[in-house]
Structure 1
Amino acid sequence: MSGYDLKSLYNDQQYGKICSIWEMQKEDCNSNTISSGDYIYYMNSLYKEKHYTECLTLYKIFHHNYPELQILDDKMGWSLYQVYLKQFDDNQTDKELYLHQVEYIIRHHTDSLYSPFHKIIFTTVRLMLKGKLGSKVDYQRADAYLSLITPANLSDVPGYFNNGQDITRKTASEREIWYTLKSQCFLQQRKYDDCVIWCDKALHDLSQFVNHSDMWFRYRKIKALYLEGNVTEAAVALPDILQGTVANWVIYALASAIMQQQDDKEKTLLYAGYCALFDTSYEKRVKVYRRLVPVLYDMGEVRLAMLHRQFTDILYKENNWSIRSWKLDWEVSQEIMTMPKKDILRELTSAWRTWRNQNKVFFKGIVKCILPSGRDGFITGEGNQDYYFKMRDVEFGRSHLQSGSHVRFTTCKRLNKKKQREEENAIEISVES
C-alpha cells in the first residue's frame, strides 16, 4: 500500500500531487507493494498531466508485477499514441519504430469504448495509403489491419469538428471510414469482386454519408467493374455518379475510358473535355491525354492527336518521368514539335471546350455582387434567380469581372457545406463584351 488516499486525491482532481507521490513510490515498486487499483490512479493522473513517457514507464512496472491484468492496456495504448504516433513527421519519424508500436498496441488492446485501437488503426492505414510508411504502399498490410475490426461494432453516427472559427463541420462516422479505407484497399489490390461487394454493403449498411461520400463508393464500384472487364455493367451504373453532386476529374476520366471501350466516340470526347478542363493541374491527367491520342487519330483528327501527343511528352519531361514509347506508325509534325507549350495548351483548351459544350444549354445573366473575399459572388439570371459562383469557375474575362458585368454561364448542383444542402451554382462563366 502507498499510505496515501489516492482515491480522495483523484476525486479532488489533485493529479499533480498524485504524480509527485508516484515519483517517490516508483523506486520501491518492483514487487507487489502497490495495489493494482492504485496503479490506475497513478496512470490516469500521469496521463491527465500529459506525462506520457512516464505512463509507459509505469506500465512496464505494472505489467511486470501484474502480468495477467489488462486494466492499464488502453491507457498504455493512448500513451504510445501520444509519444510515438500522434506527431507524425514524414521526414523525421522512424517508420519501423512507428509500425512496431502499432503492432504492440494491436497485441495489447481491449474492446472497451476507451480503447485507442480503432483510432490507431485508422490513422495508420491512412498514412499507409498515402505512402508515408514505406517506399511503396503496403495495401495487403493495410487490408489486414482493417480486417481486425468488425464494422458492425463501429458507430454509424457522424462526428462534428469545430475549426476554432465558429464553423462546425460534420465528419464521417467510424463505420463510414472503415468502409472507405477497406474498399480503397480492395481496389488497389485488384480484388475487384470484393471491392464491388463491399461498396454495395457500404451503400446498404450506412444510414448517413458525410459530404455525399456515397458517390465515391459508387465510383469505386464502377471502376472495379470496368477494370475487371464488366464494361457494360459499369456503363449502366455511370449515371449514378455523373448526375450526382460530386464533381471531380477522376469521375470524368473513368466515364471517358468506359465510353471508349464501348466505342462511343462522342461521349468519349465529351467526358474527356470535362476532365481536361476541371483545373490547371494538367500533369495529373497525363494518362487521359495519352489515351486520347490513338482515338483522335483514328477519328481523322490528326492535328489534335499530334497536339495531345506533344503535350503529353512535354508533361513527362517537365516532371522528369521516364518517356514511354508510343508504338505508333506516325510522328508529330515539325510545326507542332516546335510550338511553345502555351500555344499547344491554348489550342487544346479550345478543343476541350468544344467537346464539353456539345448539346449544353447556356444562360445569360448579370453579376449581382462579388463578395469581400474576392473569391466568389452571385449572378442574377433569367427570372431574377440568383446563382452562387466561385471565381475559379470564370473561364473568360476574369480580370474584367465586376458587379454589373454581363455573363454567359451554365449551372450544376453543388453541396453548400455550411447549410448542408444542394444548391444550383453558376459554372463555366464567360464575361461578355
Structure 2
Amino acid sequence: MDSFAARQACRDGRYDEVLAMYGKAAPDRSWTCWDYYYYAYALRKTKQYKKGREIARAGMIAFPDFINLHGIYCWCLYYLYIQKFDERTQAPEDFRRAVDAILKYSQQGPYTPYALAVWRMVDVLKNQPGQAGLMGSYLCRLDPDQLPDQEKTVTLKGRERVIASDRERWYSLMSRILVKEEKYDDCITLCRQALNYFPQLHHDNDIWFSYRIALCLLRQGRVGEGRQRLENLLKYKQHWILFRGLFFAAQAEGDSAAMRRYGASAFLAGGEFKAKVNFMVQFAQALENMGGYEKMAYFHYLLAKRVRMDQHWKVKAELLAKTDSYAFPEPDRQELMDGLHRFWMDEKHAGQTRHKGTIEKILPGSKAGFLREYGGNQYYFRTASLYRVRPEEGEKVTFYVEDFFETGKEKPAHRAVDIEPVLLYDKK
C-alpha cells in the first residue's frame, strides 16, 4: 500500500480515493501503522464510523505503541454509541463501554471527545436515582482548569438563552455531589473557589454555592454560622430550599416557633409540591414532636400521601401507618388545602400586621404590579404572590409587607407578599 499517496489524498480531502485504495484489500502484515491510520481517517471523515472503528481497532492491536490511531478510534466510538444515545430506548451497556474506552484511550483536550463523553455520561446518570457517587467519579476525571469558562448562548423554544460555561457547570454539579457524600470541608472549599473565580455566575449559582456552604456548616454543627448565611441569602432570593435550610437550623437550636415559621414559608414559596414531598413528612414529624399540632401534622402526612399517589410513586408503609393512626375525619382536597394554607399563613406571619388595599396597576406582561394600602403607601408585588386573586386593577386585597434587596442596592425596599382577597376574611 502507498501510504504516502494516501496521506496526500487525505490532506487534499480526496477521501474517496483513499477508500478505493484500501477498500478492496484486507489488512495484513504488509500494512504499516500509517496504512491503518489513513484508511481509518478517511472512513471517519466520510461518516463510516462502524468501519472506521473496526480498522482503527485492528491497527491499535497490530501496533500497540502507535497512539495516533487512538483519536480516530475514540471519535468513531463517540459518534456510534454516545452522541445520539437515548437512555429511554437503548441499552446502556454499549454506551458505558464506549465512554470508558474513550477515557482510556484519549486525554482531555479541545480536539478529543473526552470531555464530551464525560458530560454525556453525567447527563445520563443525573436522571437515575442513587447514582451520585458514580456521577462524581466521572466528574473527577475532568480537570476543571482545562474546561472552557466562557458562557454559552443556546436557542430554546425559539429564544436565545445564555447558560453557564462548562467550568461553572462542573463546580455546580461537583459541589452538590460533595454534599451528598458528606465531604463538607471539600464542598466549602470548592464553593468558595467558584464564588471567587467567576466574575458572573448563571442560574442563581451565586445563591446556590452560598447555600451549600451554609448547609455544610449546619451539618458540621456550626449552626449559628449556617443560619446567618441562609438569612442573608433570603434577602436576595426567596426559594423554598433556603427556608427548608433555616427550618433545620432552627430545629438544631430547638426553636419551635422558628421551625413552624420557616417550614410554613417553604410551602408558601414557589415550587411544586412533588419536589417538597419528603419535607412534608419531616415537617409533620416536627409538628408531632411539638405537641398541640396533631391535626396539622396529620394534614401534612395526608398531603404527602396524596402527592405520591398523584405522581404514581410508591407510598411507604410508614407513611400509610401515620395517616391511619389519626382519628380525624379525612378531608377532601379543597378542605385539606384550605386548612394547610391558613396554617401556613398564620405561622409565617405570626405577630405581623395584615394590611388591606387595592391593586392599582398591573405592569406589561402581567408578572408584576403595584397595589396601594387604604390611605397609605404604594407597594410593588409580583403576581406569583396572588392567592385566589385575579391580576386585575381594582381588586380589593389583604397582604403583608416584607423587605427585599434590589440588585445593586444596599438598602432594602418594601414589597407586598401573600396577597389574598378581602372576602376571604370578611366571610369568616
* TM-score for both structures, normalised by structure 1: 0.78
How far off its partner does 1:108 sit? 0.5
Partners of 1:424 and 1:122 in 2: how far apart? 43
Residue 345 (structure 2) pairs with residue 345 (structure 1): no
Q: CA deviation digits over 1:200-249, x for unaligned, max 9?
A: 2222333331132122122222222323433233212212432233x432
Alignment pair present for 1:51 and 2:41: no
Instruction: Please tell me the residue identity of whatever aligns with 1:379.
Output: G
In structure 1, which of residues 379, 383, 393 is the aligned counterpart of residue 369 of structure 2?
Answer: 379
Q: CA deviation at 1:109?
A: 0.6
- Which secondary structure state, in structure 2, belongs to the residue aligned with residue 395 of structure 1? coil
Instruction: Using the TM superposition, give the Cα deviation of residue 306 of structure 1 relative to its aligned residue in structure 2, in angstroms.
Output: 3.4
If asked which structure has higher relative contact order (CA below 8 Å, sep 6+), I would say: 1
Q: Is the 8 A contact 1:222 1:234 kept in 2?
A: yes
**C-alpha separation in 1, matches of 2:380 and 2:275:** 30
- Contact 1:379 / 1:388 at 8 angstroms: preserved in 2? yes
- Of 76, 79, 83 in structure 1, the residue corresponding to residue 80 of structure 2 is 83
Contact 1:269-1:355 at 8 Å conserved across structures: yes
Q: Tell me the equivalent position of 1:168.
A: 160
C-alpha separation in 2, matches of 1:242 and 1:5: 65
- Select between 297-306 and 93-102 the one with higher mean Cα deviation: 297-306
CA distances 1:285-323 after superposition (whole Å, capped 9, x unpaired):
233222333543525334323333443444456643212
Q: Is the contact made by 1:2 and 1:34 (CA closer than 8 Å) also made in structure 2? A: no
Secondary structure of 1:396's counterpart equals: coil
1:269 shift after superposition: 2.1
**Could you say what secondary structure the match of 2:149 adopts?**
coil
**Residues 355 and 37 from structure 1, CA distance in 2 versus in 1: closer, same or farther, beyond 3 angstroms?**
farther
- The SS at the match of 1:78 is helix
Distance 1:33 1:403 in 2: 86
Match of 1:265 among 234, 252, 256: 256
Greater CA drift, 217-226 or 300-309: 300-309
RMSD: 3.8
Whether the 8 Å contact between 1:10 and 1:45 is mirrored in structure 2 is no
Q: 2:195 maps to which residue? A: 203
2:410 corresponds to which residue? none
Return closer, same or farther for 1:98/1:192 CA change in 2, 3 Å cut-off.
same
- Secondary structure of the 2:68 match is coil
Count matched residues: 406
Q: Distance in 2 between matches of 1:429 and 1:139?
A: 40
User: Which residue number in structure 1 is paired with residue 147 of structure 2?
Assistant: 154
Unaligned stretches of 5+ residues in structure 1: 416-422
1:106 to 103, 106, 109: 103
Secondary structure at the aligned position of 2:86 is classed as: coil
Task: Determine helix, strand or coil for the equivalent of 2:67.
Answer: coil
How far apart, CA to CA, are the structure 2 residues paired with 1:27 and 1:50?
19
Following TM superposition, by how much is the alpha carbon of 1:137 offset from its aligned partner in structure 2, in angstroms?
2.8
Once the two structures are superposed, the pairs formed by residues 275-290 of structure 1 within 5 Å of their partners are: 275-279=266-270, 281-290=272-281
- CA-to-aligned-CA distance 1:32-89 (integer Å, 9 cap, x gap): 7677667666555544543332332332244345432333433432322221112232
- Provide the secondary structure at the position in 2 that maps to 1:345: helix
Identify which of 119, 123, 139 aligns with 1:122: 119
Change (3 A) 1:426 1:35: farther
* Identity across matched positions, percent: 20
Please say if 1:141 is aligned against 2:101. no
Contact in 2 for aligned 1:408/1:432 (Cα 8 Å): yes
Cα deviation for residue 104 of structure 1 reads 0.5
Render the CA deviation track for 1:332-384: whole Å, top value 9, x for unaligned: 23xx333223311211112112333454786753343664xxxx445245699
Structure 2: runs of 5+ lacking an equivalent: 408-412, 424-428
| Shift in Å, 1:198 | 2.0
Q: Secondary structure at the match of 1:337?
A: coil
| Counterpart secondary structure, 2:90 | coil
Between 96-105 and 276-285, report the one with greater CA deviation: 276-285
Cα distance between partner residues in 2 of 1:41 and 1:164 = 42
Partner Cα distance (1:9, 1:107) in 2: 27
- State the distance in 1 between where 2:73 and 2:416 align: 53
Amino acid at match of 1:161: V
- In the other structure, the counterpart of 1:320 is 314
Find out whether 1:354 has 2:346 as its counterpart.
yes
